[in-house]
Amino acid sequence: MHSGIIEGVLRGRELRYALDAVVVLAGIPGAGKSTFLRRVFTGGEPVRVFDSAQVRDRWRPVLGVLPYALWRPLVHFVYYLTLLAAMRRGQGPIVIHDCATRPWARRLIGWRARQAGLPLHLILLDVPGDVARSGQWARGRVVRSASMAKHCRRWPELAAKAADDPGAVVPGARSAIVLSRPEADQIGRISFGCGNVGGT
């Protein structure tokens, strides 16, 4: 985790961002992003969470008879189109649930946040590949071996860059917090509009 940020975050067990912030929650598949979000949002926060799995699950009853590889590109196209349209000032905070290992997706998110004048921040869950695979089996949604290997190969460099220069990971990012699993477990809440530990 960023030196200088770790003490403030872990002492208060809370991450605070501006009311119109865009927060990218990144981690390889199985890192525990969904579990983390369920814990840090108690239900009262006016936060919109975007995840391509939402589109996939909505379409599965209709397209699920086909191999997912055939309609995956359409899911991603609709997902990012919806996400980019939602990133506007005055609409409240957004959390983007993403693996962040696709360079084109990171550039797209960064470009849109800058265009809309929204502060962008990163939270990276830095979990070893074997632990992430166990998480996939536990949730019953296992990523293809080739795809998982690609995520795992790209992740270490991504996490190292984020710690040194958030903008090198997602253009325009103002802060990045890299959390191990034990550190992530100590975060009790994410709030918006009441100051900012990680930068405004």
**Largest Cα–Cα distance of the chain, in whole Å?**
51
pTM of the model: 0.84
CB 16 within 8 A of CB 23: no
Strand partners, 25: 97, 123
| Helices and strands per DSSP (H, E), number in the chain | 9, 7
Residue 12's nearest CA partner among 200, 136, 196, 199 is 196
- Return the DSSP state at 1: -
Q: Rounded to 10 degrees, what is the CA torsion of 162, 163, 164, 167?
A: 30
pLDDT in tens, the chain (200 residues): 443 344 334 446 889 899 999 999 999 888 888 889 888 886 566 789 998 888 888 888 888 888 878 888 898 999 999 999 999 988 889 999 998 888 999 999 999 999 999 999 999 999 887 777 776 666 656 666 777 788 788 889 999 999 899 999 999 999 999 999 889 999 988 988 854 444 44
Q: What domains sit in the chain, N to C, each tagged with a CATH number?
A: 6-192 (3.40.50.300)
